Amino acid sequence: MPERIDDLVVSATTALTAAADEAALEAWRVAYLGRSGRVTQILRSLAGLPPEERRAAGAAANQAKTSLEAALAAREAAVRGASLERALEQGRIDVTLPGRPYGLGRLHPTTQMVREICDAFAGMGFAVVEGPEVEWDYYNFEALNIPKDHPARDMWDTIWVSPEGPRAEQPMLMRTHTSPMQVRVMEASGGGPVRVVVPGKCYRYEATDATHESMFYQVEGLAVDVGISMADLKGTLYEFARRIFGEQRRVRYRCDYFPFVEPGVEMSIDCFACNGTGCRTCKQSGWIEILGAGMVHPEVLRRQGYDPEVFTGFAFGMGPERVAMLRHGIDDIRLFYANDFRFLQQF
Ligand code: PHE
């Protein structure tokens, strides 16, 4: 009997060494130490031995059981340690690997253009201010020399906002241009000199097409002071065109009509794509119209408390999307606000 126990301990120990994971260890435990395991069977069989043998056999069997239990515990610890080691190895982080690049956002092409335009004027001493997109009829039209029922109103397709509250008798609208800020800035200036650019959104009741959007940006400019002349207008806008479209640019002014300037002009630059020889970008004309401008109308000055005999000024307004379209060869203004990444990611 004691020999059998010794044999069993040897074979059990060998088997235990081969058990390499938790499942194998559990199978081993069931086979040797479980309720009908081999060690348990030996312990049970002791009852059938003659009393003189039982004592020694019992001691040997119990010792075998204790030592196998201890061996199991040790083996379990070793296997667990090894599997932790493996898990750590698999989950190892190499801190020397380069990081994964984040998809960084970027500024919208309109925002980039607006900033570039404003920077060009800021470099010439213009302050940048902003104003409300929902505007009173007074600022958008009336104070700009565009009275009610005047045909000049047809120049702007207007989105009216139903007026509410204490000033309900005064019509409100989504501003059709940034020019109302000319009035607000003069109003707030205390009659002193003014030099501002005003970027912002404008809205028109418009059927959209490749060159028209119902929401778009403008950058307005206004300079008012003693002794400002048309030469200042031309020089300032010429310098702007060179800064945005290149040192070689030439500019052309032609008469245009806006009720709040006199005289009014449109400014064109010679085509930067073909240097004025005629191409698709300039529709074969060699010139590209980029903004409207003029000397601030005396009536507009007078309304805001400036004496037009002393103060003069110039104003201009341009569409930054148009400028961006020209610069990048974009052929449809609707692309700017369609939120298509394939378009936006190119800028
Ligand atoms: N506000 C005019 C428009 O939207 C542009 C303009 C601004 C013209 C300032 C002259 C002076 O068409």
- Tokens found for residue 305: 């408390």
For residue range 52-93, list pLDDT tens digits in order. Answer: 888 888 888 889 889 999 989 999 998 999 889 989 989 888
For residue range 194-214, list pLDDT tens digits in order. Answer: 999 999 999 999 999 988 899
Q: Which of 188-194's residues contact partners 24+ apart within 8 Å by CB, and which partners?
A: 189/224, 189/304, 191/305, 191/306, 193/224, 193/225, 193/226, 194/222, 194/223, 194/224, 194/225, 194/313
- Ligand 1 site residues (CB inside 6 A) read 177, 179, 220, 258, 261, 292-294, 315-317
pLDDT at 51: 86
Which residues make Cβ contacts (< 8 Å) with residue 71, sequence separation at least 6?
12, 13, 16
d(CA 333, CA 270): 22
**What residues act catalytically?**
156, 177, 204, 218, 261, 315
Measured from the Cα of 155, ligand 1's closest atom is: 12
Q: Give the burial string for 178-192 (b: 16+ CB within 10 Å, else e).
A: bbbbbbbbbeebeee
Q: Give the burial string for 28-44 (b: 16+ CB within 10 Å, else e).
A: bbeebbeeebbbeebbe
* Whether the predicted pLDDT of 166 surpasses 80: no
Which residues make Cβ contacts (< 8 Å) with residue 176, sequence separation at least 6?
140, 156, 157, 158, 159, 202, 203, 204
Using DSSP, state whether 280 is helix, strand or coil: coil
Name the range with the highest mean pLDDT among 102-106, 163-167, 331-335: 331-335
Instruction: Among 117, 157, 179, 253, name the best residue to mutate to test ligand 1's pocket (greatest count of ligand atoms within 8 A of Cβ).
Output: 179
Ligand 1, atom 10, residue with closest C-alpha: 293
* 321 and 110 Cβ atoms separated by less than 8 Å: yes
DSSP-assigned letters across all residues of 88-105: HHHT---TTSPPPPP---
Q: What sign results for the dihedral spanned by CA atoms 222, 199, 347, 321?
A: negative
Q: Is 194 exposed, middle or buried (0-12, 13-18, 19+ CB in 10 A)?
A: buried
* 178 and 219 Cβ atoms separated by less than 8 Å: yes
CA of 177 to the centre of ligand 1 (A): 7
Mean pLDDT of the chain: 92
Please, how many CA atoms are within 13 Å of residue 308, restricted to the half-sphere of its CB? 13
d(CA 336, CA 343): 8
**pTM reported for the whole predicted model:** 0.71
For residue range 218-258, list pLDDT tens digits in order. Answer: 999 999 999 999 999 999 999 999 999 889 888 999 999 99
Q: What percent of the chain is predicted at pLDDT more than 90?
A: 63
